[in-house]
Structure 1
Amino acid sequence: MSTGTATDAESAPTISSGSSEGEDQRGGVVLSGITKLYGDQAAVDDLSLTIQPGEFISLLGPSGCGKTTTLRMIAGFEQPDAGDIRISGRPVRGIPPYRRDVNTVFQAYALFPHLSVAENVAYGLQQRRTPKSEVRDRVTQALDLVQMRRFGDRKPTQLSGGQQQRIALARALVNRPAVLLLDEPLGALDRQLREEMQLEVKLLQSRLGITFVFVTHDQGEALSMSDRIAIMRAGRIEQLADADTVYARPASAYVAAFVGQQNFFRGAVAEAGAAITSPHALVRAAAPVLTTTNLGEAAVRPEYIRIDKDDPSAPPGEANTTRGDLIGISHLGDTMQYLVRLGDDQSLIVRRPTPDAPVLEVGDAVVCSWAAHHVLLFPADDAAQEGGYVPPPTL
C-alpha cells in the first residue's frame, strides 16, 4: 500500500446516511458535564465537549487520562455516573450501543477468521436483517471505499495488518453511522504503514463527511489528522484547539510537554513576568505573561535553538544563551540532533536541519541560543513531568 491510493479514495463512491431526519444535526455529539467513577476515582471528571457534524476530532493524552473511557461512553459500552450525552441531537444516556447511530473501530480489529472479507463486512447488515440484494450492494460499496473489493473472497488471516485495518473500517462504515469512533486503530501497525494509513483515514473521512472521534496517545497521529485536538489530563480537557494552536500556543506546561518536545528551564520569575532565572540561563520571552512572583517554567523547542562551537574568549552570554558540553550527536535524516550537558542536573536537546547543521564533535564546548519569541512561559506546577517530559540524561 502506498500513499498513491489517495486519488482512488477521492474518487470512491459516497456512502449516504440513509436518513433525512435532522440532517443538520446528524453526526453532532454533545457531552455535558459527564463523569465516570470507578470506585472513588474519577476516570472522567465533569467533562463537556461539543463535536460538530462532520468533524475529525482526536482525544489525545497519556494512559489513564480518560480518553478511552470518554469514547466508550459515547459508544454506549459505559454509562456516565453524571451528565448527559446527545448524538445527532438525541439524548442517548442509558441507550445500548446497538441502538446508537455510531460504530466503533478498535485497535484489535476483531475480524472473524472463519469468514471471508465480504462476509465480515456484511455481518452487521445481516444482523439487522437487511435484504440480501441491499447487503451485496452496500458491501461492494464499502469495500470500494477502502480499495479492497478484489480481496472480498479472502480470509482475514491472508491479509496484512494494513489491509485488515481497512476491512475493519469498511465493516464499520457499511452500516452508515452518523459517528465513527476509533480507539487507537493504528497502534498495531509499523511506523511506515501507520503513517500511510493516517493519510488514507483522513482522506476517507473528508470524502465521506462522517464525524470521526479518534482516540490516540500518539501526538503525530493527532496533529496530522485532526480538525481539532482535545488534550486530556486526569479526566478533563486541558486544551481544545486545532493542531497549529496546540503546537505553537499550548495552554499549559502539561500540553507543551505532551505535544512535541520541549526543553524546560525552571527558576524564579524575573523582569515583571517576562523571564525565568534558571541556574543555567536567563530565559526571556518576547512579552511578560507570568503574574506569579514565585517559580516559573520556560519552554523552548529543540528546533528553535542554535548551536555553535564555543569561543572561550567570548564574553558571557546574555539572555537566551547558555553554554555546555556536547555529549551526543544523532543523525535523524532531515535533521541533526545534539545533546548538550549544561550541568549535573540538566541537559538540552537541539535539532538543526541537516544541510545547515554545524560540524561538531562529542566533547566540544558549545554555546546555544534562541530568540525570545520562541520562548513559552508557564507557572511551575510540575506539569511538564506529568505531561510526559523526561529530562535528557546527563552522561
Structure 2
Amino acid sequence: MPEASLTTHPGPRGRTSQPEEDASGATGSVVIDRVTKRYAGQAAVDDLSLAIAAGEFVSLLGPSGCGKTTTLRMIAGFEHPDAGDIVVSGRSVLGLPPYRRDVNTVFQAYALFPHLSVAENVAYGLQQTRTPKAEVRQRVADALDMVQMRRFADRKPTQLSGGQQQRIALARALVNRPAVLLLDEPLGALDRQLREEMQLELKLLQSRLGITFVFVTHDQGEALSMSDRIAVMRDGRIEQLADSDTIYARPATAYVAAFVGQQNFFRGAVVDAGAAVESPHVVVRGTERVLTGPQGEAAVRPENIRIDPAGSSAAGEVNAVEGELIGVSHLGETMQYLVSLGGDQSLVVRRPTPDAPALRVGDRVRCAWAPHHVLLFPFDDAAEEGGYVAPPTA
C-alpha cells in the first residue's frame, strides 16, 4: 500500500504525526490536521494530526475514552471539530453533512431494517438518491457478490446469522462506492471464531477493492492482523503510528508496550548508566543506554523468556531470576507458565507446546531472557492519571 507523506516527531508522551501535505489529494486520502474536539470542556480529541493515503488500511487502536470513535465520527460528519481541518480526497469536509461526504460507515450495531429483505436493505441508500432502478438492481447484485451473499437476497435480516448480517451491513456501505469506508468496531458483536474469520474476509475485501479503510477497535489482535498502519491512541492523541511489526516489536512508550500484546514489567531504579532497571527481584539489562531519569521500567514479552528447572543455567546469561511455578495453562500452540517471584510480582512465560518443558505447579524454576529482548522506558507517572498502570505482574 502507498504510504502517506508524514513527518514523525516526538510528542508530549510519545510519537505522533503531522501531515506535510494532504496525502497528495488522491481520491480516498484522508488528512486530519490538528483537530480538537471537546465535551464539557474536556478534550476527547486533542490537537490530533494524521494523514492516511488512498487505499490504506489504518486502524485507530486504544481503550474506551481514548478518542478513536470521536475521530471516526468527525471524519463521517456525525461530530464537528472545535478546531482543525479534515480533508477527504483533497477537499475539506468541514461543514458538509454526512451524506455529502465521500465516505460510508459500518457500525457495531448493524442497524439493518428488519422489515426489508437483504436486497432492499442494500438498495436503500441508492433509492434515497433516486438512482435509476436498473442501476440499483445491478449495483445491489454486485455489492452482494462482493460479500458472497447474493443467494440470501430475498431473506430478512432476522433469518441470518451474525456474520451474515455483518456482510450485509458491509454491502450496504459499499454499494454507494465510497472512497473511504469507516468501520466502528464492526466485529465486536461476533463470537471469537467468527470474528477471526471476518478479519480475514475484511482484509481480503479491502485489498481487492482498493478502498481506504479506517478501522476503530480496542482489540489489538484485530488491528495487528489487518492493518497497514496502526495509530495507538491515548487521551485524544496518537501515542505511536507505525506498521504492525514496529508497534509490536518496537513500541515507542510503555503505554504502547502494555496495550499491544502482553508484557512482563519491572519497575525500579535506573542503573548501569541507563542500560538497566533494578527491580526488587532482578536487575533487568537491555542492550542500549536509553534511560536518563532516576526511575524506569523494563519490559519483556512472555514468548521471549526461557523457563527451566531451578539450578539450571546457560553460559552468557545476563537476565535471570528464580521463582515458584504457580500456574500452567495449555493454550493450544503454546504453554503458558505463571511464576511467582515473591511479593505481588509474577512472571508470565510462553513456550511453543512441542518444546515446552514438563513442569508442575509448585516447582522451583529459573527464567532467563536475552538483553536484546528487553524494552526500557522512563517511568510514566502521567500514564496512571490517564487510567493506564504498567503492571507489576504480567
Give the TM-score normalised by the residue count of structure 2: 0.91
**Corresponding residue for 2:171?**
170
Q: Secondary structure at the match of 1:198?
A: helix
Q: Secondary structure at the match of 1:224?
A: helix
2-side partners of 1:302 and 1:93: how far apart? Answer: 46
2-side partners of 1:172 and 1:150: how far apart? Answer: 19
1-side partners of 2:208 and 2:220: how far apart? Answer: 23
**Corresponding residue for 1:349?**
348
8 Å CA contact 2:25–2:90 kept in 1: the answer is: no
String of CA shifts for 1:144-190, please: whole Å, max 9, x gaps.
00000000000000000000000000000000001000000000000
Per the TM alignment, residue 390 of structure 1 is displaced from its structure 2 partner at its CA by 4.5
> Which residue identity does 2:367 align to in structure 1?
C
Q: Secondary structure at the match of 1:54?
A: coil
2-side partners of 1:188 and 1:382: how far apart? Answer: 35
**Corresponding residue for 2:311?**
311
Aligned pairs for 1:1-395 within 5 A: 25-292=26-293, 294-311=294-311, 319-382=318-381, 386-387=387-388, 390-392=391-393
8 Å CA contact 2:310–2:364 kept in 1: the answer is: yes
Per the TM alignment, residue 272 of structure 1 is displaced from its structure 2 partner at its CA by 1.1
Q: Secondary structure at the match of 1:134?
A: helix
Query: After alignment, is 319-328 or 167-176 more displaced?
Result: 319-328
Q: Secondary structure at the match of 1:26?
A: coil
| Structure 2 unpaired stretches of 5+ | 1-22
Per the TM alignment, residue 374 of structure 1 is displaced from its structure 2 partner at its CA by 0.2
2-side partners of 1:149 and 1:65: how far apart? Answer: 38
| Structure 1 unpaired stretches of 5+ | 1-21
8 Å CA contact 1:56–1:226 kept in 2: the answer is: yes
Q: CA RMSD in A?
A: 1.8
2-side partners of 1:380 and 1:291: how far apart? Answer: 10
8 Å CA contact 2:267–2:392 kept in 1: the answer is: no
> Which residue identity does 1:345 align to in structure 2?
D
> Which residue identity does 2:331 align to in structure 1?
L
8 Å CA contact 1:305–1:370 kept in 2: the answer is: yes
Identity over aligned residues, as a percent? 78
Give the TM-score normalised by the residue count of structure 1: 0.91
1:47/1:180 CA distance change after superposition, 3 Å: same
> Which residue identity does 2:322 align to in structure 1?
R
Per the TM alignment, residue 290 of structure 1 is displaced from its structure 2 partner at its CA by 1.4
2-side partners of 1:23 and 1:304: how far apart? Answer: 41
1:186/1:286 CA distance change after superposition, 3 Å: same
8 Å CA contact 1:282–1:319 kept in 2: the answer is: no
1:305/1:381 CA distance change after superposition, 3 Å: same
1:23/1:243 CA distance change after superposition, 3 Å: closer
Q: Secondary structure at the match of 1:290?
A: coil
Per the TM alignment, residue 311 of structure 1 is displaced from its structure 2 partner at its CA by 2.3
String of CA shifts for 1:351-379, please: whole Å, max 9, x gaps.
00001111111011111000000000000
8 Å CA contact 2:317–2:370 kept in 1: the answer is: no
8 Å CA contact 1:257–1:384 kept in 2: the answer is: no
String of CA shifts for 1:219-268, please: whole Å, max 9, x gaps.
00000000000000000000000000000000000000000000000111
Q: Secondary structure at the match of 2:354?
A: helix
> Which residue identity does 1:246 align to in structure 2?
I
8 Å CA contact 2:32–2:85 kept in 1: the answer is: yes
> Which residue identity does 1:326 align to in structure 2?
L
String of CA shifts for 1:194-214, please: whole Å, max 9, x gaps.
000000000000000000000
8 Å CA contact 1:122–1:171 kept in 2: the answer is: yes
1-side partners of 2:231 and 2:171: how far apart? Answer: 26
8 Å CA contact 1:281–1:319 kept in 2: the answer is: no
1:41/1:209 CA distance change after superposition, 3 Å: same
2-side partners of 1:133 and 1:31: how far apart? Answer: 38
> Which residue identity does 2:165 align to in structure 1?
Q
1-side partners of 2:331 and 2:245: how far apart? Answer: 23
2-side partners of 1:111 and 1:130: how far apart? Answer: 20
8 Å CA contact 2:344–2:393 kept in 1: the answer is: no
Aligned residues: 369
